[in-house]
Structure 1
Amino acid sequence: FKVELVASEPMVKDPVFIDWDDQGRMWVGEFRTYMKDLDGTGENERSSRVMVLEDTDGDGRMDKSTAFVDDMINVRSVAFVEGGVLVVESGAIWFCQDDDGDLRCDQKTKLMDFATTAYDNIEHAENGLSYSLDNWMYNSKSSRKLAWREGKLDESPSDPRGQWGMATDAYGRLYHNSNSVWFQVDWGMYDRAWPANKKTVGSPTREVFAIRPNTALNRNYKPGSLREDGRVARVTTISGLAVHSHGAFGEEWEGAIFSMSPGTNTVGAFIPMKPFPHSEDYLHQTYADPIWGKREFLASTDERFRPVNGTFGPDGCLYVVDFHRGVIQHKKFLTSYLRRQSEERELDKHIGYGRIYRIVPEDQKPQPSPQNLVAGLSHPHLWWRLRSQKRIVEGDRQDLVPTIRELARNRQASPFARVHAMWTLVGLSDLDAKTTELAINDSDWFVAMTGLRTAGDTKEYGGVFPQVNLADAQRISKSGDFPHALVAYALKVVESGYPKRIVANYVDKPAEWVKRDKELYSSYKKGRELYGNSCGACHQAHGKGLANMAPTLAKSDWVNGSLSRLIGVAVHGLSGPIKVNGKLAENIPPIMPPHGYMKDDQLADVLTYVKNAWGNRSGLVSAQEIANYRIGTERFLPWTEKELSDLE
C-alpha cells in the first residue's frame, strides 16, 4: 500500500467525518470549536462547518473547497438523501438544501433533536447515519435507527451500539467500537444468525503497537499502562472504524477491519481467519519494526497524527481522517495528569489543522462508476451498491421495480447484486413471494439466507415467516451443503418463526389492574411477545404507529370500540381509506395484511395486549371469540371500513 495526502489545512480544519456525493466530491464535517484551549472555551459556538472539497485537475488531491454550511455546532455526521443533505450537529439533525447548485446551503430545516448530550459531553452522543443493507441508517451511541421516506425522517428503536463511528459490510453486518475496544461486529439485521453463541464478535486483543512513546494519555501514570519503552500497552482511545468489504484491497483483505487509535497515533488492522460466515476469529495484523520490534498497520512518529475516523470511498480505497492536534481528550475527562502533560509540552497549541489521507494498493485497478441506478446494484464496490440502493428507495423509484425484480431473480447475476435487489424491493414495499421463494431455493447460501430473512417482508405475510416456505426451510435445516449459520437459521424459523426484531425504547409498564388479574396478565404478556414479532415493526413498540406505515393503536377507537370489528381486522385485514378517532389516516399503505394464519389463542393474546396497553383499558379476549368469528364469517378479502360498520 501507499499513503497519499488528499486534503489538508487551510482547506480543511479539525475534520472528524467524510463522505462523497455522486459526483465524487468529498464532504467534510468539522469540529472547529473542540478544545480550543484546555478549558474547552466556546465549545458550543456556531462556527463549525461542512466543507465540500473537489479535485478539479484529477491528480487525486483536493484543490477547491466550498463552505456548504458554516454556522453549525461541531458537525458529527453527514448523509445524502433525496432532495438534500442531512447534517448532524450537537443537539439536532438538519435537512439542508442547495437550491441553485452552487454547493452552498440555501435552506436549513431542523428535523429532530439528536445528539443532545453533546452539549455537555461531546464524546458520548449520537453520531453515524451509516446506511446499511436493510434501508436504515444506523448510529453509534444511539438506541434508534433512521430512514428518509417521502421527505421525512422516520425513526425506529434499535440496539445501542458503539461510541464513535459506524461501518457496515456486504452482508449487512454492523461494526462499532468504544474507547477501550478495537471493534465489535454483529449481524442483528439477519436476526443474529451469526455469531453462533453470542451477540457480538469482538477484537481478539486490546494490545496496541505504536512507534513513539505515548505519555500524554489519561491513566498512563498507572503501573502497567505503559511498556518499558514508553509506548501504551493497551488501547484506551479508540475512535471510528472502517471495514474493507468489496473494495480495492483484494480478496486477502476482504472483511478486514481498520480501527482508529488517535491516542497512540495508529490505525490497527484485523483480518478474518476464514471468510464469513465460517469463522468468528480475527488476526491482529502487525508488522516488524526495526526500532520498536512491532507496529500497527499504519503508525506515525508525529504525536499530532490523530486518526479519528475512517471509511472506504467510491474508489474502494481506505480514507483516514486525521484530526491533527495535540489535545484530543475532552475537558470533561481531562485529568490533572493529562492537563499538566499538555501544558508542559504545549499540546494545546497549534490548533486548526487537519489532514485526510488515502490508503491505496500499489496495483489498484480503478472501477468505472455505474451507468445508472439499477446497474449500480451490481457494481463491484459496496459503496456504489449501497448508494444506488439508497437513491432508489428514498426516491421511491417504482418505475424501476420490474428491472430490479428481474435482477433479483437472475441466477446468472452476482449473488450480492441479487441481495441488494431484494432489499431494494423491500424498501419500495414491492418484494413478492415468488422472488423470495426463488431465493430460498438458490444454491448460493447468502441469497438463500436473504430469501428466508425477507420472506415475511412481502405484502402477503407482513413480517411473519410464511407457512408456504416451511418445507424449503426444513430442507435447508437438514442440508450439509450450506454454512452452519444458514442451517441454524433455517431450523430456527421452522421451529419458532422469526425471532423478535423490534427493539423497544418504550418501557412497558402493565397497569395495576392488569397485574391483579392473573389470567389477563398471562395473556397480556404472551400477547406482548407476539405483538413485538408480528405487529411492532409497523405499529411500533409504543403503539403510536409509524409515519407512512401504520396508524396509532394507543387510545384508538378501532381498538377500544367494537370487538367484532377489531377481530375482523386482525383475521382478514383492512383496506383503506380509514378514519382513526374521526380523522382520516393519511400516508399509510392501502391494505393492512390479514393475520388469520395465527392460531385462535395467539390472536386472542395479541388483541388482549393491544386492548390493555398504552392507555387502552379493556378485558380479556378469548380464543373462543376468535373461533366464533371464523365460524360465522365466510370471507377472503380484507374488510373496508364501511363493511365493518355492519359488524358493530
Structure 2
Amino acid sequence: MRKLYAESPVLTAEQSLESLEVEEGFTVQLVAAEPQVIVPVAMTFDESGRLWVAEMTGYMPDTVGTGEDAPNGRIVILEDTTGDGAIDKRTVFLDSLILPRALCFVENGLLVAEPPRLWYVEVNGDKAGKKTLVDAAYTEGGNVEHQPNGLLRAMDNWIYNAKSSKRYRKMGNRWLKEDTHFRGQWGISQDNYGRLFYNNNSENVLGDYFSPGLGSANPHQRTVDGFNRNIVPDNRVYPIRATPGVNRGYMNGVLDDSLRLVNFTAACGPLVYRGGLYGDAFEGNIFVAEPSANLIKRNIVRDSGYFAKGRQAYKGREFLASTDERFRPVNLHLGPDGAMYVLDMYRGIIQHKTYLTPYLKNEIGVRNLSQPLNCGRIYRVLPKDKKNPQPVQLTADPEKLLAQLDDRNGWVRDKAQQMLVDGHYRQIIPALRARLQQTDRPLGLLHAMWTLEGLQALEMKDIVALLQQPGQQIRSQALAALPSILNAANKAPVLPLLEALATDPQQAPAVAYVLPTLQKTDAVAAARILKTIWQKFPNDRFVADAVISNVKDKEEELFREITAWSADTNLVIRRHLKKVITDISNHRKAKLDEALVKEFPRGNLIFKTICQTCHGADGDGIQSLAPPLNHSEIVTGRKERLIAIVLYGLTGPVEVNGKVYKAPEISGDMPGIIHNDEFSDGDIAQLMSFIRNAWGNKAEKVTEKDILKVKQQYKGREKSFTMEELQ
C-alpha cells in the first residue's frame, strides 16, 4: 500500500476535479482556481452573488512554519461576469494581512478577522475605506488552529464565532460585544430557526437546541444542557484513498489495514444545507469537511420537540471524496444559487507546527507535500439536472427584499433580512408587521419578526400574538426575541402567557431562559414563574440548567429552597445546582496568583498559546474539548507522569476528580509538544510548574533536569500515552 501511494503528484485543477467522486445524481463544477484564488479558507457572498474570499497565504510554508507571520494574506473579490458559473475576474480588496480567517458584511462595510484583531473595513466600491478596530482581543492566546473564526451573522441579528465565547453587533456607530456560549473549533452554521451548529476536529456535529442568545446569563455554569450538544455522535469516515499523512497515523486504530483514516481528525466547516436546490431529502442536512481524509460527509438531522438528533447519511461511503491527497476542503458555504460551495486549500500540509509529529514530518518529506504553496480551488456541487443555476440578485428595494424573506433558499432569506436591517428601511415596518399574520409560511414569518427586531421596531403586541400561535418553533422564536424588547412599561400582557407556557414541557426551558430579563423589571413575577417551572419539572436536565441560569450569585439560596421543598437528594435540579455551587467554591479558591505569572512568564505564555484554548483560562476545562487542569490529581500528582503527558500526549479516557472524560464528551486525544522546536526544556518546565501551582493547585515545581530525565526514559517514543500505561 505504501508503494502504491509513494508519490503524490500535484494535479491541475481540471485533473483534481476528475479525482472527485460525488453522490449519484450530483456533479461538481470548478468555480475558481489558482491564480484567481490562492489558499482560500473563508468566504461570503455579496448581494450581487460575487464571492469575497479570505486567502490565508502564509499558513505553514514548511514543516517549521517559516515566515508564517508574513503580511501576505488577502481579501479578494471573485466575479463571474459571463454567467457560466466560472470566475473570470479577480479584484484585491485588502492585502498585507497576517493569516486572515473570517469575514462578514455589515451595513456598508466588511468585518475581517486578522488575529488577534477584529477589523471593520468600509467598502467604497470595490476598494477598502476607513478601517475601525472592533476588538483588539478578538483572539486571546491560541495558535492558528485554535483561534476564533466564523463571523456568522445569525437570524437574531448577532454575529457569532467558532472557538469563541463572544458575539458582536453593530448599533449605529457603536459595536456591542457580549459573552455567549463557547462553541466549536473551525466553522459555524445555522438552521432555519437560527440555532447554531459547529464541531471540533474529532467530532462530527455539535450544536444547540435553543436560540443562541439564550442561556449564558449565569457565568458560574460551566456547562448548560441544551447547548454544545453532540448532534451526530458517529465520527466514522470513509476515505476512497489511503490517508497515511495524518498526524497520528502511527497509532493503532487511527488508520485501518488499508491505511485509511478511521475517524474524524480534522472535522471542520460544517454547513446546514438550506438551499432548496437539492430536493427535500437534503434540506436541513449538515455537511462536514474532513481535509485529512479528502472528503465531505453528509449527515441527516431531525427535530423531535426542541431536540435535534442526527445520523450519517451513508455507511461505508461519503457524499463527496477525492483520490487527490492535496484536496483539502476546509470550509463549506451556501450560495445565492442554492448550491454548496467548497473551499479547497489544495496543499500538502494542513497540520500546524505546534503539534506536528515526526511521523507526519516524514510523510510530508517522503511525498514532497510541502509544495506547492500557491494553489487553491473553489467548487460548487450541483444536481445533474440543474446545470447552471444562476445566483439570486438582491437589490436595495425594500418591497422586493420583503418578498425574498420567503425565498426557498435560506441564503436569500438571510441576506434579505440583513439588507432590510442594514438599509434602515423603516417604511417597510407596517408590511413586516402584516407578514406576521401569515402563519401558514413560518420561515418567512420568523425572518419578518427578526427583521423588525433588527430595525428596533418589534413591539410587545407582536410577541404576544406569536406566543399564542400553535406552532412550537414560532413560539420558541418569539420567546427568544422577547428579551430584546421586554421592559417595565410593556411587560403586563406577556406575563399570563409566560405563566401558561411555563407548564408546557416543550417551552418551559425557553421560558426560564427569558426570565433573567423579566427579573430586572419585575423580580416577583420572575421568581413566581421560575418556581412554577422547577417544581413542575424537577427531573428535567434542560429545565434544571435553564433555571440555574437565572440565579447568578443566588445558587445557594435556591438550593435551600429546593431542599426545603423536597427531601429527594436525587432530583436532577438539585444535583445540577450542587455541582455549580461546588464549581463556584473551587473557582473562588483558584484565583490566579500574579506572583506566579511573574515567576513563570514563559510558562504562562505557553499556557495561553497552547493549553488555554482547550482547558480554559481558569483551568476548569471546556465542554467537548478537554477536562480540567484545576484541582486535577493528574496535574498535581507525580510530576514524571505529567511531564510524559505534556511531552508525548495522551489518548483515550482520563479520570479527573472521580469523573471519567472520554470521546465524544471531549476530544479523545491531547497532542504532545516534544517535537516542537519552539520550546526548550526550560520552557516546558516553566509551563508545568505554572499549571501545577496555578488556580487552586499546589504542587512541587518541575525542573529542566526532570524534563531531561523523562526524555531519556522514553527516548525514541512517538506514540501518545494512555492512562493505563502511566498508572
TM-score (norm 2): 0.63
| Alpha-carbon spacing, 1:12–1:276, altered in 2? closer, same or farther (3 Å) | farther
Q: Is the 8 A contact 1:146 1:154 kept in 2?
A: yes
1:334 & 1:503 partners in 2: Cα distance? 42
Partner of 1:310: 332
| Alpha-carbon spacing, 1:192–1:435, altered in 2? closer, same or farther (3 Å) | same
Partner of 2:414: 386
Partner of 2:79: 54
Partner of 1:291: none
**Residues 606-635 of structure 1: CA distance to partner in whole angstroms, max 9, x if unpaired?**
xxxxxxxxxxxxxxxxxxxxxxxxxxxxxx
Partner of 1:34: 59
SS at match of 2:144: coil
2:190 & 2:28 partners in 1: Cα distance? 23
Partner of 1:44: 69
Partner of 2:132: 109
| Alpha-carbon spacing, 1:475–1:369, altered in 2? closer, same or farther (3 Å) | farther
2:460 & 2:139 partners in 1: Cα distance? 42
Q: Which runs of 5+ in 2 are unaligned?
A: 1-25, 217-223, 516-527, 534-542, 555-576, 578-727
| Alpha-carbon spacing, 1:366–1:348, altered in 2? closer, same or farther (3 Å) | closer
2:49 & 2:154 partners in 1: Cα distance? 20
SS at match of 1:98: strand
Partner of 1:74: 99
- Give, in angstroms, the shift of residue 327 of structure 1: 0.5
Residues matched between the structures, number:
493
| Alpha-carbon spacing, 1:434–1:306, altered in 2? closer, same or farther (3 Å) | same
Q: Is the 8 A contact 2:499 2:529 kept in 1?
A: no
Task: Give the RMSD, CA atoms, in angstroms.
Answer: 3.3
Q: Within 5 A, what are the aligned runs for 1:634-645?
A: none
2:130 & 2:510 partners in 1: Cα distance? 47
1:450 matched to 2:477: yes
Counterpart amino acid of 2:322? Answer: S
1:115 & 1:456 partners in 2: Cα distance? 26
2:254 & 2:240 partners in 1: Cα distance? 16
| Alpha-carbon spacing, 1:162–1:334, altered in 2? closer, same or farther (3 Å) | same
Q: Within 5 A, what are the aligned runs for 1:395-406?
A: 395-406=423-434
- Give, in angstroms, the shift of residue 467 of structure 1: 5.1
Partner of 2:50: 25
SS at match of 1:202: strand
1:125 matched to 2:152: no
Partner of 1:63: 88
Partner of 1:141: 163
Q: Which runs of 5+ in 1 are unaligned?
A: 288-293, 510-528, 530-648
Choose from 218, 226, 232 the match for 2:247: 218
Q: Is the 8 A contact 1:36 1:348 kept in 2?
A: yes
SS at match of 2:332: strand
Q: Within 5 A, what are the aligned runs for 1:468-479?
A: 468-473=493-498
1:420 matched to 2:472: no
Partner of 1:614: none
Partner of 2:675: none
1:351 & 1:65 partners in 2: Cα distance? 19
**Residues 235-279 of structure 1: CA distance to partner in whole angstroms, max 9, x if unpaired?**
11112111112532222112111111000001111102x446476
Choose from 309, 313, 317 the match for 1:281: 309
- Give, in angstroms, the shift of residue 186 of structure 1: 0.4
More displaced 10-residue stretch of structure 1: 390-399 or 31-40: 390-399
Q: Within 5 A, what are the aligned runs for 1:88-99?
A: 88-99=113-124
More displaced 10-residue stretch of structure 1: 30-39 or 244-253: 244-253
2:482 & 2:117 partners in 1: Cα distance? 36
Q: Within 5 A, what are the aligned runs for 1:512-527?
A: none
SS at match of 2:105: strand
**Residues 375-413 of structure 1: CA distance to partner in whole angstroms, max 9, x if unpaired?**
23222221122222223333433333222222223345x
- Give, in angstroms, the shift of residue 366 of structure 1: 6.1
Choose from 508, 530, 533 the match for 1:496: 530
- Give, in angstroms, the shift of residue 108 of structure 1: 2.9
Counterpart amino acid of 1:87? Answer: V
SS at match of 2:331: strand
- Give, in angstroms, the shift of residue 98 of structure 1: 3.5
| Alpha-carbon spacing, 1:362–1:401, altered in 2? closer, same or farther (3 Å) | same
SS at match of 1:405: helix
**Residues 12-59 of structure 1: CA distance to partner in whole angstroms, max 9, x if unpaired?**
001001110011110110110111111111111111101100001100
1 or 2 for the larger relative contact order (CA 8 Å, sep ≥6)? 2
Partner of 1:158: 180
Q: Is the 8 A contact 1:164 1:239 kept in 2?
A: yes
- Give, in angstroms, the shift of residue 456 of structure 1: 4.1
Partner of 1:296: 318
Q: Is the 8 A contact 1:431 1:459 kept in 2?
A: no
**Residues 423-478 of structure 1: CA distance to partner in whole angstroms, max 9, x if unpaired?**
1222222211211121112233322222333344335458x9x4533444555567
SS at match of 2:59: coil
Choose from 160, 168, 171 the match for 2:190: 168
SS at match of 2:86: coil
SS at match of 2:506: helix
1:180 matched to 2:214: no
1:377 & 1:267 partners in 2: Cα distance? 29
| Alpha-carbon spacing, 1:317–1:502, altered in 2? closer, same or farther (3 Å) | farther
| Alpha-carbon spacing, 1:471–1:394, altered in 2? closer, same or farther (3 Å) | same
SS at match of 1:158: strand
| Alpha-carbon spacing, 1:478–1:228, altered in 2? closer, same or farther (3 Å) | same
**Residues 516-560 of structure 1: CA distance to partner in whole angstroms, max 9, x if unpaired?**
xxxxxxxxxxxxx9xxxxxxxxxxxxxxxxxxxxxxxxxxxxxxx
SS at match of 1:189: coil
